[in-house]
Amino acid sequence: MDLDVTGVAHQGVFVARHEGRVVFVPDAIPGERVRARIVEERRRFARAVALEVLEASPDRRPHVLPEGGIDRAPGQRAGSADFGHIALPRQRELKATVLADALTRIGRFDAAEVAGWRLAVSPVGAEAGRDATDRPGLDITARPGRRWRTRETLHVDDAGRCGPYAARSHTVVPVAGLPLAVDELEELGAHRRPWPGHERVQLVIDEAAPFDAPGRARVIVDGGRGRTVLRRVHGVDFAVDEAGFWQVHRDAPATLVDTVAGLVDVDRIDADAPHLDLYGGVGLFAVWLARAGLAVTTVEADARASELAARNAASLGRVDARCEPAERFLRREAQQAPAGMYARSLVVLDPPRSGAGRRAIADLVRLAPAQVIYVACDPVALVRDARLLVDAGWRLDRLRAFDLFPHSHHFETVASFVR
């Protein structure tokens, strides 16, 4: 069927209508007319794949990954860059639309008020006119939206071929290059080699090695061997498990610590109050807050990450790294902490894609801290949790969004809430 694409939805798909029913279709752009095939029918909506562009948007570009283009059969398109066919400024406008829609439709924030916020999803690092990485010699302004990934995950198929998966499938699509990866990762050439007998190959940067030295890029097969790599933020080193979580965009950690630091409401909090960094990973925010003089408890469920958080913060002396689920920590504090203990505290939380959820937010509300700064990689999870906070008497007072994942539909949002 031929579809007129009119909007953007969450998760990298676009919206059209056919015979009164919504059809979600990837690889399109609002304003385009595409030929598509239905692949899934539900009562209220259908899913389609785009086969051909009949009327192209002026924002259509050759796909950033040649193997991800619409000229390939749908099941053979590399799925790791689902906005890769769209001009970068338009990608960011679409992300801002997704954020505004999430706030109004799911978060039930007032549409006129949200429109007045003029939400933008901002470029970061060199693309924003500054190099947040403190690394010499890199100019990604000439290659906007490329060369930002400091970790690449390639899947391996039964024949030993590696590459990203095709969209919504486990078909491995071999690729000739890794245009989103920093140069050192592509230069490893791992994406061109066979990996028989393995499931997954990860390429990561290790900043323990000096710039341009061999060994800055590492190949990690399957789950890794428990070694650490060093990552650097404004000159401060963090040990990270080679296969563990660290923000992927080269400029993300610096952007996020600067943003969180900039949002802290110094009139509401006391340095000596007990501050929290929930879902803390290897301690990125805890270390930053401790360096600013705050005493911080960082809570992380993964034992290895928590151990590294303790190590990363050891010299600061003001960080207590706890290994447990954040929900359990919050439950216990909500039940046992003396009333008013957190009244002058800051809580930073950076949960996984699913968000913190109803129980964690209810217990957070019981702690009644002075300010909550929520770092979110999923706008829908954020607005669900934001609605719970607002219904409990909190106010969303500032919101920033960053394009930490150019050429994909993902972006990062940082929201500040006060009572």
Ligand X SMILES: C[S@@+](CC[C@H](N)C(=O)[O-])C[C@H]1O[C@@H](n2cnc3c(N)ncnc32)[C@H](O)[C@@H]1O
Per the annotation, binding residues for S-adenosyl-L-methionine are: 247, 279, 300, 350
Q: Residue 285, interface with ligand X (CB under 6 A)? A: yes
User: Based on CB atoms, which residue is closest to ligand X, 123 or 281?
Assistant: 281
- Contact assessment for residue 95 and residue 409, using Cβ atoms and an 8 Å cutoff: yes
Q: Which residue is nearest to ligand X (CB)?
A: 281
C-alpha 356: how far from chain center: 15
Q: Residue 280, interface with ligand X (CB under 6 A)? A: yes
User: Based on CB atoms, which residue is closest to ligand X, 59 or 277?
Assistant: 277
User: Based on CB atoms, which residue is closest to ligand X, 220 or 278?
Assistant: 278
Q: How far is the CB of 73 from ligand X (least distance, A)?
A: 34
Q: Which of 62, 160, 194, 352 binds ligand X (CB under 6 A)?
A: 352
Q: How far is the CB of 355 from ligand X (least distance, A)?
A: 10
CA angle centred on 75, ends 74 and 80, rounded to 5°: 90
Q: Which of residues 364-403 bind ligand X (CB under 6 A)?
A: 377
Nearest in space to 188 (alpha carbons), one of 210, 205, 208: 205
Q: Residue 127, interface with ligand X (CB under 6 A)? A: no
List phi, psi (to 5°) of 335.
-85, -35
Q: Residue 327, interface with ligand X (CB under 6 A)? A: yes
Q: Which of 109, 279, 288, 417 binds ligand X (CB under 6 A)?
A: 279
Q: Which of 27, 300, 333, 363 binds ligand X (CB under 6 A)?
A: 300
Q: Which residues contact 53 (CB under 8 A, 6 or more apart)?
A: 28, 32, 33, 34, 35, 60, 70
Q: Which of 8, 13, 326, 361 binds ligand X (CB under 6 A)?
A: 326
The beta strands (E) that lie in 234-381 are given as 236-241, 275-278, 296-300, 319-323, 346-349, 371-376
- Contact assessment for residue 30 and residue 54, using Cβ atoms and an 8 Å cutoff: no
User: Based on CB atoms, which residue is closest to ligand X, 132 or 190?
Assistant: 132
Binding region: 247, 279, 300, 350
Q: Which of residues 191-250 bind ligand X (CB under 6 A)?
A: 245-247
DSSP reduced 3-state for 118 = coil
377 catalytic? Reply is: yes
- Contact assessment for residue 371 and residue 343, using Cβ atoms and an 8 Å cutoff: no
Sequence letter at residue 277: D
- Interatomic CA distance for residues 400 and 73, integer angstroms: 38
User: Based on CB atoms, which residue is closest to ligand X, 80 or 247?
Assistant: 247
Q: With CB under 6 A as the rule, give the number of residues binding ligand X.
A: 19
Which of 25, 86, 182, 377 is catalytic? The answer is: 377
- Contact assessment for residue 152 and residue 203, using Cβ atoms and an 8 Å cutoff: yes
Q: Which residues are catalytic?
A: 377
Q: Residues interacting with ligand X, by CB under 6 A?
A: 245-247, 279-281, 284-285, 299-302, 305, 325-327, 350, 352, 377
